[in-house]
Structure 1
Amino acid sequence: MIAIQDVKKLSPEDYLLQEKTNLVKHEYINGEVYEMAGASSAHVTISLNIASSLKNHLRGGKCRVYISDMKVRIDSQNVFYYPDVIVTCSDEDKGFSYYKKSPQVIIEVLSDSTESFDRGDKFADYRKIESLREYVLISQSKKRVDLFRKEDDNSWRLESFSEKENLGIKSINFNCAVATLYEDLD
């Protein structure tokens, strides 16, 4: 990633003001702003499939599903990210219009250019979110889903799911066939 703002680091408040009017989305990491790349058809289709399934599952309840235009703010790391899908069940988050601070589930659809960052530094930052219970990584290149679940001792356990299995997100009592995530892909 290359920062597009090298001269002066932005404050979180200045970043939020700029982001409201920018035509292109940017992630914010410790004062530096990074332009987001466009998404492939597969990426968008997978994101829509999981978000739609989650929305149907959670309809009428306390939890809300947000797609890729909603930021997650991690104050302790001084970052804002745009995950592909988030689920928040926090009453506090209802007061934030342009970002959420207490997601319970974060989902990223992996691409060749983002996979190492999503699995590495970004996941390290996400683990600082106290409310986060599950982090889901969905591959575009193979029909496989990796789910990291926070255990009672604050360690993270990895579960992998293949095309013929069901993905289970326990914190929101959600189950769906992995094959459903890949519907309508060419």
Structure 2
Amino acid sequence: MISTISRRYSLDEYRAIEEKAEGRSEYRDGEIVPMPGGTLKHSRIGRNILTYFSTMMRDTQFEPINSDLRLWIPEYRRGVYPDVMIFDGEPQLNGERLDEVLNPILIVEVLSPSTADYDRLSKFRMYRSIASFSKYLLVEQDEPFVERYSKQDKGWLLSDFSGLELSLALDSVSIDLPMAEIYRGIVFE
């Protein structure tokens, strides 16, 4: 029987490695987990969503941010990179860190076959520990389908959106997000 010993990293070690790394990795309470590369379709969908949010939220108190900024989840000691985050007002930095934020109100994840279960289950559970977090969008890349989770007084409400003719009401940021904008330029097989 072969035993594998994985090294545990301190948060400071992770941050030092991440600052110099060519690719990104998540921090999972001592573990450094490399993030898989995205596909062209994944990148286009993320870009479409960020572009639409940026245009619609110009001159408002809301600020959309791309996946270059790390979200720190203190309760779980996790550092993750959501595809898109939206902040109501100034993003709250994690102490003096300029590369970690704490307070998104909306998070978007574009699903990949290798990460879909993690995004739906473990990541969503961790995101729910963030007091400001109230809307979660899970976006399929191989068909026009989005799951919208909305925080309610007694839990989270799931709404599914299928087809390019629909729009998602995002009351927490006072806009509607058309499915056609999410999937602009995407060809489905």
Q: How high is the TM-score relative to the length of structure 2? A: 0.90
Partner of 2:139: 138
Q: Which runs of 4+ in 1 moved over 4 A?
A: none
Alignment of 1:48-127 (within 5 A): 48-91=47-90, 93=92, 96-127=97-128
Distance (whole Å) between structure 2 residues aligned to residue 76 and residue 112 of structure 1: 27
Distance (whole Å) between structure 1 residues aligned to residue 97 and residue 174 of structure 2: 25
Distance (whole Å) between structure 2 residues aligned to residue 13 and residue 61 of structure 1: 35
Distance (whole Å) between structure 1 residues aligned to residue 172 and residue 186 of structure 2: 28
Q: Which amino acid aligns with 2:128?
A: R
Partner of 2:28: 29
Higher deviation after alignment, 123-132 or 92-101: 92-101
Partner of 1:160: 160
Distance (whole Å) between structure 1 residues aligned to residue 91 and residue 176 of structure 2: 26
Q: Which amino acid aligns with 2:45?
A: I
1:183 aligns with 2:187: no
Q: Is the 1:43–1:140 contact (alpha carbons within 8 Å) kept by the matching residues of 2?
A: yes
CA deviation after TM superposition for structure 1 residue 91, in Å: 3.4
Q: Is the 2:108–2:138 contact (alpha carbons within 8 Å) kept by the matching residues of 1?
A: yes
- For these two proteins, the number of residue pairs brought into alignment is 180
Runs of 5+ unmatched residues, structure 1: none
Distance (whole Å) between structure 1 residues aligned to residue 159 and residue 97 of structure 2: 32
Runs of 5+ unmatched residues, structure 2: none
Distance (whole Å) between structure 1 residues aligned to residue 147 and residue 129 of structure 2: 19
Partner of 1:150: 151
Larger Rg computed on CA atoms: 2
Q: Which amino acid aligns with 2:147?
A: D
Q: How high is the TM-score relative to the length of structure 1? A: 0.91
Distance (whole Å) between structure 1 residues aligned to residue 91 and residue 111 of structure 2: 29
Q: Is the 1:90–1:103 contact (alpha carbons within 8 Å) kept by the matching residues of 2?
A: no
CA-to-partner distance for each residue in 1:37-77, whole Å, 9 max, x for gaps?
11101100100000001111111222211111111100011
Distance (whole Å) between structure 2 residues aligned to residue 158 and residue 177 of structure 1: 18
Distance (whole Å) between structure 2 residues aligned to residue 92 and residue 107 of structure 1: 16
CA deviation after TM superposition for structure 1 residue 130, in Å: 0.8
Distance (whole Å) between structure 2 residues aligned to residue 174 and residue 16 of structure 1: 35
